[in-house]
Each structure stands twice: as structure tokens, then as C-alpha cells.
Structure 1
């Protein structure tokens, strides 16, 4: 009977977690985030109960559900909203938006971001970066990791230097325009992380890119 009561409690809290106020935005959770929150709450309830003494199991279930539900549903909903805003903002710019769990990655092809063998941002790309600045200011609960990438042509040192300077150029532009420097990191990956074959012109063009990875702070 006690196990049944505890299970019922966990399910009830899980359902409530799916429709509570979002701790990141203050809005009511819905859609995928409600599912994330419900699953997280149910899992947290079971863990909280299992790790508590017999007399404190109900209390442990409630605490576990509340913490896990807020974490799973809250940031999940935050990323849902941010992803939608980025896709809308970047439509037609050539910048790709990819999502993996609660991490978002923006892929900026080198041919629209920089001139050949240069770390100076192309003037035509400023409007896109300005749009990103506005989104990053609105959604300020995640870190902004900027990574420069090159193809495999040229020396290892040249590629390392170029990829580093390109990442730093984007980082400097964002911070100079109001994105908190404490949120930003940058580094060059040279040609170590290709996303296409370097054996073809098309593949090398895809590998020359800057990525912005958005992750929970």
C-alpha cells in the first residue's frame, strides 16, 4: 500500500511539473518542455524517495520531483523558445541552426563570414551578427562558445592561427556590442573537426566555418 501511495504521489507531482511556471522565463510551461518536466519530476520523485528514510520518503519524493522537474522542464522550454527565435532570425542568412538535446549550435560558413585567408569579418555579415547580438541579450541564460574551423589545406600552424583569430573576431564583435564577456569563450580547432571530406572543393568549403555553441551556464 505504501509503495502504491508513493507511486501515485510521484505521478501526481510529475503531472503538475509539466504545467508549472518556468523558472527561466516565468511563463507557463507547455509542449515538449511539459513532457521534459513531467519525466524529470517522476524520475526525481523516485530517486528522492529511494534515498530518504522511511518516514521521510513522501517528503523526499516531493523535493526530488520539484528539483528534477524544474531542471528538466525549465531549461528545455527555454531552449525551445530560443531555438524558435534563432530559426526565425537567421532564416535566409546561410547560418544553420542545429539542436542536440539542450545544446544549440549555429554553423556559419566561412564564405559568408570572412574573406579568403582573413580573420576580418565581412561587412555583409554584420547585420546577421547584429541580429544574433539581440537574441543573445534576450536569452542570457547560456554560455556562448565560439569555435573556428578550417579545411586541411595549408600548414597546421597557419590553420591553427587562422581558426583562432576568426573565433576571436566573432567573440570580440559580440562582446563589443553588449553580450557579456563572461558568457563568451573562443578557440580555434584548426582542421581537426571536419564535417565533410577535405578531398573535394565542396567538402573543404563546408569545413571552413565558425560555430557558436550555446550551452547551459
Structure 2
């Protein structure tokens, strides 16, 4: 049984390698990770529920079935991530992958004018590219959060972060992204990603993030 699993995992790993468009390095995609985990569980169940003579066959059958289930969500998010990275290269928007979650970080200096919640018109093409991918991959929920630096009043920062998140939501909905998939929240300065003691850090903290979560797990 162990030989069968080793061979299966090798095929999964090789078949699910991807190239990072920024570094050019080969890496194991989340499809392979999910498929591998599903295969392990499936193999164990398959072996346990088979007769002694058929445990190898049962393990292989279970591994294949489990791998398909485990790799499904990862494969879907892999494809979405690849399209987003392709569309957003050179735009200043960061694409981050965290397990089966994709996070888009939109710096405030390219998205909004200082102290404003109206989206800059020159950022529309970037959001249009995001909207096309989100409309295609409609089995993901979208959570939009607004963030500010620590300068200015707390109430003003809270309102500004909420208004900016809502502006992005409204624009995406206007571009045929279903409104029921999108939630928004504003957090003001509560979740910095850099020090507010420097101008560079404050600039990084002024941002809108889109968190893309699979609806099917």
C-alpha cells in the first residue's frame, strides 16, 4: 500500500507544480497540497473498509477519490490566483495567497486621493480587471476591508475606512459582481501592517484589502 501511495503522491506533486510569475520559481500549488491531504485520508478509509486481500486496491481507490475532493477547492483557487496575478502585474496591487484564501492589497495612494473615498478614475481599469476575474470565479465570497494610518481623529478614520471599502464594493457590483457575495467593513487604524512612526509605514497602512474565500470547502 505504501508503494501505491508514494507513486500516487509523486504524480500529484509533479502534475500540480506551478510557476510563480514574480520569481519564476517552481512551487507546489495548493491543489497538490489539498489533493495530497485528501488522498491520505481517502487511502486510510479505503484500506480500513476493505478486506485484507483487497486493502491495497481499497487504499488506491480511496486515495484517488480523496485526492479529487481535497484538490477541488485548491484547484479552483489556484486558477483564480493565476488569473489575478496575470491581470494585476505592474498595477501596484499585491496578490497574496494564504491557504485557500486570496488577499488583494490595494494601496491607498493609488486607489484614492488623500482624505477622500471616491475611487481615482485612473484606478478604474485595475478594478475592471479584478471584476472580470471575480465575476468568472463566482464560487468565492468577497470581503472588502478599509484601513487607515493612525494620524487624524479616530472617528474620521473609521468613517473614511468604511466609505472606501463601500466605494470599492459599489464599483465591483456595478461591474456585474453579485452584490450578495460582497461584504464590507472599516477598521480605521486598528490593524496596521507597518509602523505608523514613519511616512513609509503610514503609507502602507492606508489601504483597502479584498479577501477572497471559497464558498465550497
Instruction: Return the TM-score normalized by structure 2.
Output: 0.79
Correspondence 1:44 to 2:51: no
State how 1:40-189 maps to structure 2 within 5 Å: 40-49=37-46, 61=59, 65-66=63-64, 68-189=66-187
Residue 53 of structure 1: how far off its partner (Å): 5.6
CA distance in 2, matches of 1:64, 1:187: 42
- Provide closer, same or farther for how the CA distance between residues 9 and 45 of structure 1 changes in structure 2, counting only shifts above 3 A: farther
Q: Which runs of 5+ in 2 are unaligned?
A: 18-27
- Runs of 4 or more, structure 1, over 4 Å off, are 7-16, 52-64
Distance 1:148 1:63, change over 3 A: farther
SS of residue in 2 equivalent to 1:146: strand
- Once the two structures are TM-superposed, the CA of residue 164 in structure 1 deviates from its matched residue by 0.8
1: CA distance, partners of 2:131 / 2:50: 51
**How much has 1:100 moved relative to structure 2?**
1.6
Look up the match of 1:202.
Answer: 200
* Equivalent residue pairs, number: 201
Q: Per-residue CA shift, 1:142-189, capped at 9, x if unaligned? A: 111111000011222211111111111101111121001121111011
The 3 A distance-change label for structure 1 pair 105 and 38 is closer
Does the 8 Å contact 1:152/1:204 carry over to 2?
Answer: yes
Aligned CA-pair RMSD: 2.7
Structure 1: where are the runs of 5+ without partners?
Answer: 20-28
Residue 30 of structure 1 deviates from its aligned partner by 3.7
- Alpha-carbon offset, residue 55 of structure 1: 5.2
- Cα distance in 2 between the residues matched to 1:145 and 1:63: 38
